[in-house]
Amino acid sequence: MAKGLSVKKIVVTGALGAVAVALSLTGLGYIPWFSGASLSVLQVPVIVGAILEGPVVGALVGAIFGITSMVQAVINPAKGPVDVFFVNPLISVLPRILIGLAAWAAFALFRGKLRGLSSIVAGVVGSLTNTALVLGALVLAGAIPLALAGTIFVANGLIEAGVAAVLSLAIVAAWRGVEGRGGKARLADEQD
């Protein structure tokens, strides 16, 4: 098998890709916020994939997230006023692929120094990458004015980055805790 596509990487990609699809399709990936807006946590599986298995897995999970976003824009374009622009893969897919690459790069920069800090930084960088690139693409496409993009970045993007940092830290710590036990659950050690 190719060096970048071990069985473990394929399984993690599939599992986190499925989580991204489920979060998107069920609406569980959106946390209600003020004035009818919502905070997205759809980028978290991409960030976690990048932290756990590297840039290839992060990019693949990001592609799954982006393709899901694009398909939803095609199937249900009346969901929001700018959703019709998400049929363009430069808006819906490319920024999501780059989440994984940016999160991995941030994680790699801090890896070995403080494991928790590296997960937090990766969560913030990955989330802000998503927000900045999607909003930037929407501005370039003429979907929203630059001033609105700036307001959304501050009102939603910074909060989403904080939420992504906390969730990334918690999920990666839990995953590593299970991996450190050889993949066994705590109950497996408790014998009657």
Q: Is the pTM of this model over 0.75?
A: yes
Mean pLDDT of the chain: 87
Look at the chain and report how many structural domains it folds into.
Answer: 1
pLDDT, greater one: 27 or 138: 138
Per-residue pLDDT reduced to its tens digit, 58-106: 999 999 999 999 998 888 766 667 888 999 999 999 999 999 999 999 9
**119 is in which domain, residue-wise?**
7-183
Residue 88 lies in a domain: yes
Question: Please, are residues 107 and 114 in contact by the beta-carbon 8 Å criterion?
Answer: no
Q: What are the angstrom distances between the C-alpha of 135 and each of 5, 54, 93, 188?
A: 32, 25, 13, 47
Residue 189 lies in a domain: no
Residue 149 lies in a domain: yes
- CA–CA distance, 148 with 163 (Å, rounded to integer): 22
Question: Please, are residues 120 and 66 in contact by the beta-carbon 8 Å criterion?
Answer: no
- CA–CA distance, 6 with 109 (Å, rounded to integer): 24
The CATH code of the domain that includes 77 is: 1.10.1760.20
Please return the burial class of 68, using the count of CB atoms within 10 Å of its CB with bins 0-12, 13-18 and 19+. buried
Per-residue pLDDT reduced to its tens digit, 141-183: 999 999 999 999 998 899 999 999 999 999 999 988 776 666 5
Residue 37 lies in a domain: yes
pLDDT, greater one: 129 or 6: 129
Residue 175 lies in a domain: yes
> For position 1, what pLDDT does the model report?
44
Least confident stretch, 11-15, 26-30, 98-102, 167-171: 26-30
Residue 116 lies in a domain: yes
Q: Looking at 115-154, which runs of residues are DSSP E strands?
A: none
Residue 192 lies in a domain: no
Least confident stretch, 14-28, 72-86, 107-121, 171-185: 171-185
Residue 32 lies in a domain: yes
Question: Please, are residues 47 and 6 in contact by the beta-carbon 8 Å criterion?
Answer: no
